[in-house]
Amino acid sequence: MFSEKNISKYIILTPIVTVILIAFFTSYFFIQTQNSYFKEESIRIEKEYLIKQKNILKKEINSVIHYINYNVLENKNLDKILFKKKILRYIETIRYEKHGYIWIHNTSYYLLAHPFRQKSIGKYDINLKDAKGIKITKKFINETIKNPNGVFIKYYWQKPNLTYHSPKLGFFKLYDKFSWVIGAGLYIDDIQSSILKNKKLLEQRINKYIRFVVMVSFLVILSIGILSFIVSNRVSRVFNKYKQNVIKKEFLLEDLNQNLEKRILKAILEVQNKDRAMLHQSRLARMGVMLSMIAHQWRQPLSKLSAILMELETAIKFNKSNDKLVLQTINTSNKLLIYMSNTIDDFRNFFKPDKEKIYFNINDAVSEAFSLIEASILNLNINFEKTIIINSKIYGYKREFAQVILNLLSNAKDALEENSIQNPKITLNIEEINNSVVISISDNAKGIHNDIINHIFEPYFTTKDSFKGTGLGLYMSKIIIEKNMQGKLSVKNEKDGSKFTISLKATYEK
């Protein structure tokens, strides 16, 4: 078992065993990789060599055709029959590779040139068969007529001066001017011999690499073993010295840990107090916004109430009051007081949290939010335009959604007021794009600085004074839209100001 007594042995053995395992697995995977490489490279070599042999056949046939064309141009005055015989006899002398030669038939299946079938020259050769019994002359000529620019055909034929048959790859091309089918071939077993030779060379090279890697791994293991033994002895001596120091410092660490726990508890309490303070600040700011809106909503009815009472007072002073006027004044005052009381209820209900999702009309929620800030917007002479292209229903939290709209409208109003914009304007559009309801709120307050536009949705980030905002409004708005209602809230700068866009999936009540 692991203990202080045998720790020096572990120090010696651990790196040695580790290096041995690393070397073993490295060698194993290297060998596996090289074997895979050998297989892949063998296939590649075989393919490339076969392509090379095909190119040789094409080259030989094309050379013969060039030779014929050249002689046709140079010997226009010769007798055609003698001229053709001269060319055919020359072509019979051409050799390439180990057993390669050229032969020619015409499209009527007559043999015109062949270095090893002289007795069949000029004869009807359609019934010639290969070792598999296939009428190869007929196949050569018919396939070449279908593919006059060249065609490859495999068949079985005996090599010159040999009795057994071997698989052969032939290439045939039509010389249309004389109606000649010119053929050339290579024996596949010759090709396989060359490929096998290349494979053996590749295998020898890979085996050489494997031996080299194994030898290097062995030397590394030996070197690491010796080095580990030397280093471990020195480590053991140093370890014993440090062991005494560790015992001494354990007492110091224990004392430090106790003090550290006290510091952590103190820091946690400070953070909790800070969070409570910030939350309290956020609630106060929210209450301040609500009171400010209530004040704007009450300003006009209070003015009307004051005017009505002054009118009644004047009538009493000049003895022009009567029961009808008093009752009318009381009735009008009651209506104004009821309106003001309803305003309080509207704000109280508006800021209550929703408990469950419902289907609600999006324009109703927008109108509810606008009604709370309408007085503030009118008081600042802000031109508010609302365009509804589609009035859809969505599924979610109505009050929370309305609070988001209220927050965006309030931010736009504050930006217009802070920047002292002439002809201030807020535009709200509701439309449907790709099965999504899109609500956009834009203003002409000069936009948001590019340095901060990517941070405005972060918690506690604000550009307002501390008594005007806590930096939680846009953060909470993004949480409501994206987390609670599975939508998207984004912002971008336009020509004259900023544009906030809410995108929600259009739904239909079940």
Q: Domain coordinates of the chain in residue numbers?
A: 56-192, 353-505
pLDDT band at 275 (very low <50, low <70, confident <90, very high): low
**339: confidence class by pLDDT, cuts 50, 70, 90:** low
In the predicted model, what is the mean pLDDT of residues 206-233? 74
Which of 311 and 292 is assigned the larger pLDDT? 311
Q: Provide the CA 284 distance to its chain's centre, in angstroms.
A: 45
Instruction: State residue 510's pLDDT score.
Output: 46
Write down the pLDDT at residue 443: 93
The strand pairing partners of 358, in sequence order, are 396
Q: β-strand 383-388 against 425-433: which pairing, if any?
A: parallel
d(CA 149, CA 185): 16
Question: Is 70 exceeded by the pLDDT of residue 192?
Answer: no
Separation of alpha carbons 355 and 397, rounded Å: 8
Task: Name which residue leads in pLDDT, 366 or 192.
Answer: 366
Please report the pLDDT score of residue 108 as a whole number: 93
Lowest pLDDT segment from 210-214, 245-249, 273-277, 320-324:
273-277
pLDDT at 66: 92
Instruction: State the burial class of residue 463 (Cβ atoms within 10 Å of its Cβ: 0-12, 13-18, 19+).
Output: middle
The yes-or-no verdict on residue 120 having pLDDT over 70 is yes
Kindly indicate the confidence band of residue 354, based on its pLDDT and cuts at 50, 70 and 90.
low
CATH class of the region 353-505: alpha beta
Name the pLDDT band for 156 (thresholds 50, 70, 90). confident
- Among 154-158, 340-344, 448-452, 453-457, whose mean pLDDT is lowest? 340-344
Helix, strand, or coil (residue 299): helix
Q: Looking at this protein, which amino acid is placed at residue 101?
A: Y
Residue 294's pLDDT is: 65
Structure tokens at 467: 């008594």
Between 424 and 208, whose confidence is greater?
Answer: 424
Give the pLDDT mean for 245-270: 77
> What pLDDT shows up at residue 208?
77
Q: Is the dihedral of CA 51, 53, 59, 65 positive or negative?
A: negative
Of the two residues 194 and 391, the one the predictor is more confident about is 391
Pick 475 or 289 by higher pLDDT. 475
- pLDDT: which is higher, 94 or 342: 94
> Tokens representing 341?
């009381």
- Please count the other Cβ atoms lying within 10 Å of the Cβ belonging to residue 64: 22
pLDDT band with cut points at 50, 70 and 90 for residue 474: confident
CA distance linking residue 341 with residue 273, whole number of Å:
37
| pLDDT for residue 466 | 47
Give the pLDDT confidence score for residue 442 in this predicted structure: 94
CA distance 171 to 54: 8
**pLDDT tens digits for range 61-96:** 999 999 988 888 887 777 788 888 889 999 999 998
d(CA 266, CA 272): 10
| Total Cβ atoms within 10 A of residue 114 | 20
Tell me the average pLDDT across 260-268. 78
Residue 37 or 481, more confident: 481
Residue 291 above 70 pLDDT?
no
pLDDT at 152: 93
pLDDT tens for each residue of 408-444: 998 898 889 888 888 999 999 999 888 889 999 999 9
Q: Tell whether the model's pLDDT for residue 388 goes beyond 80.
A: yes
Task: Check the CA dihedral 364-366-372-373 and report its sign.
Answer: negative
67: tokens are: 């030779």
The answer to whether the beta carbons of residues 165 and 156 sit under 8 Å apart is yes
Residue 336 predicted with pLDDT over 80: no
pTM of the predicted model as reported, rounded to 2 decimal places: 0.40
CA–CA dist 104, 89 (Å, integer): 11
d(CA 329, CA 47): 106
- The percent of residues above 70 in pLDDT, for the chain, comes to 77
Phi, psi of 199 (to 5 degrees): -65, -40
Least confident among 157-161, 292-296, 490-494: 292-296
Report how far residue 279's alpha carbon sits from residue 285's, in angstroms, rounded to the nearest whole number.
Answer: 10
Taking Cα atoms as reference points, which of 57, 150, 144, 156 lies closest to residue 100?
Answer: 57
Going by C-alpha positions, the residue among 183, 4, 171 that lies closest to residue 91 is 183
**144-153 core/surface letters (b: 16 or more CB in 10 A; e: else):** beeeeebbeb
137-146, 186-195, 296-305, 474-483: range with highest mean pLDDT: 137-146
Superfamily of domain 56-192: PAS domain (3.30.450.20)
DSSP string for 264-278? HHHHHHHHHHHHHHH
3-state secondary structure of 59: helix
List, in sequence order, every beta strand (DSSP E) within 289-382: 358-361
**Tokens standing for residue 329:** 């004044």
Determine which of 19-23, 109-113, 463-467 has the lowest per-residue pLDDT on average: 463-467
In sequence order, what are the beta bridge partners of 92? none
Q: Are 391 and 339 in contact (CB under 8 A)?
A: no
Q: What pLDDT is recorded for position 467?
A: 44
What was the pLDDT predicted at 12? 62
135 and 127 Cβ atoms separated by less than 8 Å = yes
How, if at all, do strands 95-96 and 498-505 pair?
unpaired
